[in-house]
Structure 1
Amino acid sequence: MATPRNRAGSVRAADLRWRSALAVLDEMRREPGVTRAAVARRLGLSTGSATEITSRLRDLALLAETPAAATSRGRPTSVLTPHPDGPVVIAVDLRQEDWRCAVAPLDGKPDVAEAGTHRSRDPEQVVDTVAQAVRRLHRRYGDRVRAICVAIAATVQHGRVVQSAVLGWDAVDLAALTADPRVPLLIGNDATLAGLAEARQGAAAGAATVLHLTVEVGVGGTLVVDGRPMHGATGAGGEFGHLPFGDPRLRCPCGARGCWDLAVDGRAIARRLGEPAPRDPRTYAEQALARTPADPAVRAAVAHAARALARGLAGLINALDPAVVTLGSLAESLRAAAEPEFTAALADGLMRFRRPNPPPVLAAALGRDGALHGAVVTALDHVLTEEGLAAWAAQCSSHPPA
């Protein structure tokens, strides 16, 4: 019988093995197609240790190895890829007009498997339609599905949707989107998840403090510090679009007055042109941006929205002190369409000491896929833990992969 000291030593050794395994899997996730030799160098592993760890991960159906192309006379190595029978996560991107479901293995590359447009914005119909798609994917992948993450254009508090001004929803229960109660269902605001993806693997990868802004229907965004979004006390942080940077005479669908949302998107452009509020502000804005070069009135309306975006961004930079700013979706399009006005308004809004060296403002690298990538990142963060690997190993011992 093991003594308490021996048991403690065994636990520490097991924890160390899982930590080493997680470090290798994190490298595969950070750089899909990385070689075993490169991972060993980065992690300071000996050739023998790297071989032992990757062999154990192969046995657990967590990674596979294929010979790397020979580049020198050195010892041959292999490329690390997700195991074909290994864990996967399901990511859902639920937007104003449409939805997508993707599956991603441990390297974090989402593959969109199902998609559709909303026939109705009735929450029961939307949730039921998406739930059916998730169930089909769950049946296809079975116990390999380890987590589901939903990126939704809504305010999320304590992991639940409490309001969506975009979809016209109040509180909506998304529990139906998991077919198996044992599989965690994670829910996040779409702009927050897009910012997380940009900070971890996109335009701002490597920066310690990242401010992400996106414009779809209104303004969304997040502050990411050391790779983690700042969610606030209840998880509802980052609702930048509802800062009172807009016209206080205007009532936002969220219930507040003067929201920044109403000053920067397709609704703002239509209002400036004396046109009715569009049902689909994003598509309206895209069409207006396409008309900008040839239509002075549209160009002036777009420039007005770009200035409003830049002024608000300056305020956030003054308050949050990011190292890098990323602009996603129509936020970058507005800047590009009216760059002189955007640049001047941003500079005017910055505190004097910031103007000589403002943070770089970069175009988001992941485009409209940012929220989907962020959902994958969040789901894999949940799976790739010591507890998650131990649970997968226990499942493999009782049901070995084919």
Structure 2
Amino acid sequence: MTSSAGRSPSARARDARWRGALAVLEEMRREPGITRAVMAQRLGLTTGSATEITARLRELALIAETPAAASGRGRPTTVLHPHPDGPVVVAADIRQEDWRIAVTALDGRPRIAEAGTHASREPGRVVDVIAAAVRRVREHHGDRVRAVSVAVAATVRHGGVVQSAALGWDAVDLTALVPDSRLPLLVGNDATLAGAAEARYGAATGAATALHVTIEVGVGGTLVVDGRPVVGATGAGGEFGHLPFGDPALRCPCGATGCWDLMVDGRAIARHLGEPPPRDPRSYAQAAVDRAAGNGLVRSAVGRAASGFGRGLAGLVNAFDPDIVTLGGFAEPLRAAAAAEFDTALADGLMRFRRSDPPPVVAAVLGGDGALHGAAVTALDGVLTEEGLSAWAAERTG
């Protein structure tokens, strides 16, 4: 490894220039529509330095500037935007029933390009359909596409899908989603990526340690520490739904018994009502919540699921000691529909010293787009590096 002290003056100057550029781009990403004046103030840049850096970023098609609305006295300033010819990443979200493809510029906000419902959950057919959509996006944007990032409702290990109870998959190869082998392919669990996005842009912004828990088909989530999800040794961490918080007599599709998954989603509600397992547990659970107010049996079944959720969440709080807990997917509607049962189970499950000052439990603000945002975050983190900007600049000037 070469130390910075051992680098040539020109190399050190180049790195310093990229550091300033990266800082500006991160501010634009953190607050789309930020003005150059506010950006310079936050970064402690002089007017001259801010002008020099933004001029270079414009030349490289990384930012565009438009006049800011006048606001009293003071020098006029500009609003920073991603350049219309600048780099983008493709984010994909593969869910139990459907899929979506989004294009994300340097402001970090996904914009849906294509979407569809699975005609079949057979892995090869799903991959083929989504791969075709990614190819169309790549053909439209050309070499501006710098990476493809996929959020999938599955356990992800070493960057690949190894199992998905939601989709009925075992190991599935997703490399066909990348139309060009030179493009990086990033694959992550949807709940993990949603938690990362909530910590970066959502309800947990600023928290040193945030716990994100979501219910779709079962329970997923992640612990985010200093903005980074804790994914374990192989990337398969955060499988909260497979903690043995449930009935040991019940076998989960994952192969284990007693999984928490089976106690909190639509499958649990159907079981309490004596009905067969639903094909789409998420939609079934939401329909049950909608019916609960006028049906005592359904209300009781929803309450039992909320109680099971609160009890398990208490265990996670005891284990991880988060500053804040964010709830995504069906988790927040379930809590709201049976607040008394949830609150009682959560309080009873907390260690005594925590009960007087438990972490706030709040709804995620990115909603159903959390996984897409998280996929975009992951991809842009790779693009917005000294190496990533150097590669882009070389292509632009080559």
Q: Same fold (TM over 0.5)?
A: yes
1:391 and 2:391 equivalent?
A: yes
Aligned to 2:188: 188
User: Counterpart amino acid of 2:83?
Assistant: H
The aligned residue for residue 378 of structure 1 is 378
Q: Distance in 2 between matches of 1:109 and 1:351?
A: 39
How many pairs are equivalent? 395
CA distance, structure 2, for counterparts of residue 328 and residue 109 of structure 1: 19
In 2: Cα distance, 1:6 partner to 1:295 partner = 74
Per the alignment, do residues 62 and 218 of structure 1 end up closer, same or farther by CA in structure 2, a change over 3 Å counting?
Answer: same
2:230 matched to which residue of 1?
Answer: 230
One-letter identity of the residue aligned with 1:234: T
Deviation at 1:329, TM superposition (A): 1.2
Q: Residues 44-76 of structure 1: CA distance to partner in whole angstroms, max 9, x if unpaired?
A: 000000000000000000000000001021011
Quick one: structure 1 residues 311 and 7, their matched pair in 2 at CA, closer, same or farther if it must change by over 3 Å? closer
> Whole-Å Cα distance in 2 between the matches of residues 255 and 245 of structure 1?
15
Q: 2:114 matched to which residue of 1?
A: 114
Q: Which runs of 5+ in 1 are unaligned?
A: none
What does 1:220-369 correspond to in 2, within 5 Å? 220-369=220-369
2:356 partner amino acid: P
Q: Residue type matched to 1:221 in 2?
A: G
Tell me how far apart the structure 2 counterparts of residues 349 and 6 of structure 1 sit (CA, whole Å): 56
Deviation at 1:10, TM superposition (A): 1.1
Equivalent AA in structure 2 for residue 198 of structure 1: E
Cα deviation, residue 109, structure 1: 1.2
Unmatched 5+ residue regions in structure 2?
A: none
Structure 1 runs (4+) greater than 2 angstroms displaced = 4-7
How many Å separate the matches in 2 of 1:228 and 1:107?
Answer: 19
TM-superposed deviation, 1:92: 0.2
CA distance in 2, matches of 1:6, 1:345: 59
Structure 2 equivalent of residue 62 of structure 1: 62
Could you tell me which residue of structure 2 aligns to residue 10 of structure 1? 10
User: What is the alpha-carbon distance in structure 2 between the residues aligned to residue 142 and residue 184 of structure 1?
Assistant: 15
Q: CA deviation at 1:5?
A: 8.7
Q: What displacement does 1:6 show?
A: 9.7
Q: Partners in 1 of 2:78 and 2:348 — Cα distance?
A: 53
Task: Tell me which amino acid in the other structure corresponds to 2:254.
Answer: C
| Distance of 1:201 and 1:106 partners within structure 2 | 14
Structure 2 equivalent of residue 98 of structure 1: 98
Cα-to-partner distance string for 1:91-148 (whole Å, 9 max, x where unaligned): 0000000000000100011110100000111000000000000000000000000011
Aligned to 1:215: 215
Q: Which amino acid aligns with 1:150?
A: V
Equivalent position SS for 2:52? helix
SS in 2 for 1:148: strand
Letter in 2 for 1:170: D
* Separation (CA, whole Å) in 2 of partners of 1:5 and 1:229: 33
The answer to whether structure 1 residue 49 and structure 2 residue 49 are counterparts is yes
The one-letter code of the counterpart of 2:317 is: I
Tell me the secondary structure at the aligned position of residue 81 of structure 1: strand
Q: Deviations over 1:245-297 (max 9, x none)?
A: 01000000000000000000000000000000111111110110100111111
Distance of 1:185 and 1:6 partners within structure 2: 34
Q: Distance in 2 between matches of 1:148 and 1:284?
A: 32
CA distance, structure 1, for counterparts of residue 107 and residue 293 of structure 2: 42
CA distance in 2, matches of 1:16, 1:342: 52
Letter in 2 for 1:296: G
Q: Cα deviations across residues 357-381 of structure 1 (Å, max 9, x unaligned)?
A: 1000000001111001101111100
CA distance in 1, matches of 2:396, 2:250: 57
Query: Aligned residue for 1:129?
Result: 129
For residues 217 and 340 of structure 2, the distance between their equivalents in structure 1, rounded to whole angstroms, comes to: 24
1:229 alignment partner AA? P
* C-alpha separation in 1, matches of 2:261 and 2:7: 58
Aligned to 2:138: 138
2:86 paired residue number:
86
What secondary structure sits across from 2:293 in the alignment?
A: helix
Letter in 2 for 1:297: L
Cα distance, 1:397–1:292 mapped onto 2, change above 3 Å: same
Amino acid at match of 1:173: D
TM-superposed deviation, 1:8: 1.4
CA distance in structure 1 between the aligned counterparts of 2:377 and 2:329, rounded to whole angstroms: 19
Q: What's the counterpart of residue 40 of structure 1?
A: 40
Counterpart of 2:204?
204
The DSSP-based 3-state class of the residue aligned with 1:197 is helix
Give the Cα separation in 1 of the matches to 2:109 and 2:160: 26
The C-alpha deviation readout for 1:326-365, integer Å capped at 9, x for no partner, is: 0011100110000011111101100011111100000000
Determine helix, strand or coil for the equivalent of 1:294: coil
How far off is 1:7 after superposition? 5.9
For 2:303 and 2:208, the matched residues in 1 are separated by 32
Q: Give deviations 1:152-199, integer Å, cap 9, x for gaps.
A: 000000101111111111100000000011110000000000000111
Under a length normalisation based on structure 1, what TM-score does the superposition of the two structures give? Answer: 0.97
